[in-house]
Structure 1
Amino acid sequence: MRVLTTAPLPRTSLNGRVPDSPRGPIGENWPGDPKRGAAILAGDIEFVGELVRNPSPAWFPSGAGPEWLAAWHGFGWLADLVSAGEAAREAARALIQSWLDTRPTRHPIGWRPDVLGTRISAWLMHLDELAGRDIDRPLRREMLASIAVQLRHLTRGLAPEGDGPAQLRTIKGLIGGFVALGGSERRVTRVLRLLDRELRRQILPDGGHRTRSPSVQLEVLRDLIDIRSALRTARIEPPPALRNTIEAMAPVLRLFRHGDRRLALFNNSVEEDGVLIDLVLTRSEAKGPAPPQAPHAGFQRLQAGQTLVLVDTGKPPPHGFDGHAHAGMLSFELSRERERIIVNCGGYRGPKPAWRRLARSSAAHSVLVVGDTNAVEIQEDGSVGQAAATVHWDRAEEAGHQWLMARHDLYEPRFGLTYARELYLTPDGDDLRGEDKLTGRAGVEFAVRFHLHPAVEASLAADNGAAVLRLPSGAVWRVRATGAAMSLGESIYLGSGEAKKTQQIVLSGTTGPDGAVIRWALRREPRPTPRT
């Protein structure tokens, strides 16, 4: 890794004397994870799926990946550490002092705009908690002086473009820093113009984020709530664009939630923390319910009784927002009450490129896959091939019966096939039926995959004509299919943030002269009547 070598930063303020008591609170006080904090205290420091034990040198351990370093220098983990008790808070003070004493030169990662913005926000949020005692006055002065220097550097170095969520973290740090250290309202207004531009660039008309990722939806909404809180602290009226964006994003976040209160696994998402999601939605102050669809983001929500089906009916995200996008168009997830049944594999959190590419593949989603090939190309630089994709969908509802029809032509250039999926959900939610149809060239192999949550126990009937799914609650679902051969295979579930072995049902076959039609049904079996 190349390190930029420059002179150490001077300990001067942004604009003259640094206040001893900055305005606060700057942003919302989000709860930390005590278990994660205890792990950091013990020297087991894990970010983005990469574990570094007792890092040495402390701030630039050899072998650490760039995103691990970005998270380490960003101090976004302070909330976790301080939640683990007084010994952990002392460790947090020592780590901040260590960073200040080391006075890292302008490392390309440690001084990246989004890392600067995250660090400024974290230090300001925990300033009083960690440096509020008389004994901590020297640390407080050093932290505030350093924040002023970092803020000045950030003001000069803010790039006009950049990764979407990272750009918003940068803006959050700027606004929080200006509010805390008494920056002029003119400066705040200038940054708010940048925020307005970014909101127009990143947020779709229905409130979805352009990455089409539930995890990013949560992250960005949380950052916007923090920005609004900082403006309220400064008694600056949040601009209409910010208020309206928060109001629009919250219902889409609700759309992505399963009955366990966690998120669906589309486009590099993991389940995330249900308590945090609750808190973000509460603090958004947006009362809108989960909509049945987000047409611009490209997602559908079918709900009947206690059954929920979430479907991806969107195109690949555009360039600049596709760096973590998955090739899972027309995939779906199914849950009943608090139990997930059919899932996608989820986003990979770790340093291994091969695992990341596997998680992004079409085969890692509950969808039909042609020729064991991704519906869209995942290129070497991580972006998604932007072929002229056509994705159509339509839905209908009558007396509680719900239908969804969707199709795309992403396999047409390579295989001469178009793909259509139809779903039907009964009013009681006990019966989900589907039809996957390929139209075009003969002689092409395909597989319809249904990845199962690790808690689901699956077995095949003796004739391989059906599969039985047993849930922890005792509920039983039966899968039947025609038009393809059914088998049971291994799979991996990444939704909890770590890899867990699970199973998948596979319906495989080869297209004939008229293509292929695979019909299937997922039915919940009635519970046996207890004997009297």
Structure 2
Amino acid sequence: MNDRRRPTPPSPGDAPDAAADGIEQGKRLIRVADDKGLSLSQKIANRFYLLSWKTPLHSRRLKGKYPLKLLAVPDDDVPGDPRAGQAIRAGYFLFRGLKQPVDTLDFAKLDLIPDFADHLHGFRWLRDLASVASREQGAPIAEGVMRKWLEVHAETPSEPAWRADNAAWRLLFWTTHAPLILSSSDLVYRSLVLNCVARTARHLDRSADKAPVGLPRIVAWGGIVAASLLIPGGAARKVFGEAGLKRAIDAGIHADGGILSRSPLDQMEAIMLLSMVQAVYDVRREPAPAFLQDALSRTVPALLSLAHGDGGLGSWQGAAAVDPARVSAIVAASRVRSRPLRQARDWGYQRIAAGQTVLQIDAAPPP
């Protein structure tokens, strides 16, 4: 007779010690409250807010004094893409293999995929152009595109051009690469650019907290902080912006440093944003708040935990392969030197390394 014994249930004394790994019993697979989508009421409220952009009241809120100049021009420690920069000099924008001729660019009828449109509205391409052109070479190109954008969007806020994260990225890249867009001797054009910088800051003051929790809201508040340090008379905005940025970081980044969306691309974007804000403090010779450095010291190890042996990122959450050089450049810009995070408590990615072998595991609960 085959004597099979039923397994003896573990006694309470055999249970794993919660203190051993810091995870409470019964909480090893949990959903995070903030990973749910917007409720119906939130969607309706957001829709009404977007409709309010077309009202005279919103336009009046964006009016005010425009700065005669910027207080400083921050450094951009993240290098641009030389290939994309050379393409701009050759007469077309290059984005993930897609092309858009500069001379036929029409911001009123931008028939491009959303990410490409965001790339143009956020003026991220200024970084690429700056990597291959001097001010004398790049300014005429940048000013030409700038005039096209201002003609359509300077006075009429609309999505996606004035979406909070796009507006914040645009403000950061406009100010960081100001020599490319403010070298003109045309005083009317210069005034229009500076006025739009100020309008963008006022727009962010009212829309940052309405951006989705996570990277979009962090970017929006980062733009407010940058504006407070680069536009004259920003003392009150600085207090307001730093408080908002801290709230956005606390809500959008887990305690272990992982971004709420769990996307490696969003993680890189968050590190780049925080590094650019830190550069603004540096150029103004003001100490950055402690929470900013703390956020960088947590997000960089989390990003490195998804790096393969060659330094490139793993393809998670719809992300494609990322060049190791780009990962290294963004980490270098953060000025954080750290080892990869080995055990993520909240982010969900686990990393096991032995010799030249790296094993990455997405151990988060299903959606």
Cα distance in 1 for partners of 2:128, 2:321 equals 18
| Corresponding position of 1:333 | none
Where does 1:98-109 land on structure 2 (aligned, <5 Å)? 98-104=148-154, 105-109=156-160
Residues 9-40 of structure 1: per-residue CA shift (max 9 Å, x gap): 989997535132x2223363421112112333
SS of the residue 2:107 aligns to:
coil
Cα distance, 1:184 vs structure 2? 2.9
Matched, 1:117 2:160: no
Identity percentage of aligned residues: 25
2:153–2:161: 8 Å Cα contact kept in structure 1?
no
| Corresponding position of 2:132 | 84
| Corresponding position of 2:67 | 18
Cα distance, 1:123 vs structure 2? 0.7
| Corresponding position of 2:117 | 69
Cα distance in 1 for partners of 2:177, 2:131 equals 11
Residues 258-304 of structure 1: per-residue CA shift (max 9 Å, x gap): 12221111112222232232222223232221132223212222222
Q: CA 1:31 to 1:11, structure 2 compared with 1: closer, same or farther past 3 Å?
A: farther
Q: 2:199 aligns with which of 146, 149, 174?
A: 149
Q: CA 1:88 to 1:283, structure 2 compared with 1: closer, same or farther past 3 Å?
A: closer
Structure having the higher helix fraction is 2
Structure having the higher strand fraction is 1
Matched, 1:303 2:344: no
SS of the residue 2:359 aligns to:
strand
Q: 1:38 aligns with which of 86, 89, 106?
A: 86
Cα distance in 2 for partners of 1:303, 1:24 equals 44
| Corresponding position of 1:131 | 182
SS of the residue 1:309 aligns to:
strand
Kindly provide the amino acid, as one letter, of the partner of residue 172 in structure 1.
G
1:217–1:249: 8 Å Cα contact kept in structure 2?
yes
Matched, 1:171 2:221: yes
| Corresponding position of 1:413 | none
2:73–2:177: 8 Å Cα contact kept in structure 1?
no
Cα distance, 1:247 vs structure 2? 0.8
Where does 1:371-382 land on structure 2 (aligned, <5 Å)? none
Q: CA 1:274 to 1:214, structure 2 compared with 1: closer, same or farther past 3 Å?
A: same
Q: 2:252 aligns with which of 202, 205, 219?
A: 202
| Corresponding position of 1:59 | 107
1:231–1:237: 8 Å Cα contact kept in structure 2?
yes
Matched, 1:292 2:342: yes
Kindly provide the amino acid, as one letter, of the partner of residue 159 in structure 1.
D
Cα distance in 2 for partners of 1:291, 1:72 equals 34
Kindly provide the amino acid, as one letter, of the partner of residue 68 in structure 2.
P
Kindly provide the amino acid, as one letter, of the partner of residue 109 in structure 1.
P
Residues 34-86 of structure 1: per-residue CA shift (max 9 Å, x gap): 21123334454354775444575611335334443333222111111233335
Cα distance in 1 for partners of 2:93, 2:63 equals 32
Q: CA 1:98 to 1:63, structure 2 compared with 1: closer, same or farther past 3 Å?
A: closer
SS of the residue 1:251 aligns to:
helix
SS of the residue 2:351 aligns to:
strand
Q: CA 1:54 to 1:126, structure 2 compared with 1: closer, same or farther past 3 Å?
A: closer
Cα distance in 1 for partners of 2:188, 2:60 equals 13
Cα distance, 1:224 vs structure 2? 0.9
Greater mean alpha carbon deviation, residues 63-72 or residues 301-310: 63-72
Cα distance in 2 for partners of 1:209, 1:102 equals 34
Matched, 1:282 2:332: yes
Residues 385-405 of structure 1: per-residue CA shift (max 9 Å, x gap): x4xxxxxxxxxxxxxxxxxxx
| Corresponding position of 2:31 | none
Cα distance in 2 for partners of 1:115, 1:49 equals 22
Bigger-Rg structure (1/2) = 1
Q: CA 1:163 to 1:72, structure 2 compared with 1: closer, same or farther past 3 Å?
A: farther
Q: CA 1:48 to 1:84, structure 2 compared with 1: closer, same or farther past 3 Å?
A: same
Cα distance in 2 for partners of 1:296, 1:12 equals 40
TM-score (norm 2): 0.75
Gaps of 5+ in 2: 1-49
Kindly provide the amino acid, as one letter, of the partner of residue 286 in structure 1.
V
Cα distance in 1 for partners of 2:163, 2:306 equals 31
SS of the residue 1:301 aligns to:
strand
Residues 127-151 of structure 1: per-residue CA shift (max 9 Å, x gap): 1244347x46554333212211222
Kindly provide the amino acid, as one letter, of the partner of residue 178 in structure 2.
L
TM-score (norm 1): 0.53
Cα distance, 1:235 vs structure 2? 4.2
Where relative contact order (Cα < 8 A, 6+ residues apart) is larger, the structure is 2
1:14–1:151: 8 Å Cα contact kept in structure 2?
no
2:221–2:248: 8 Å Cα contact kept in structure 1?
no
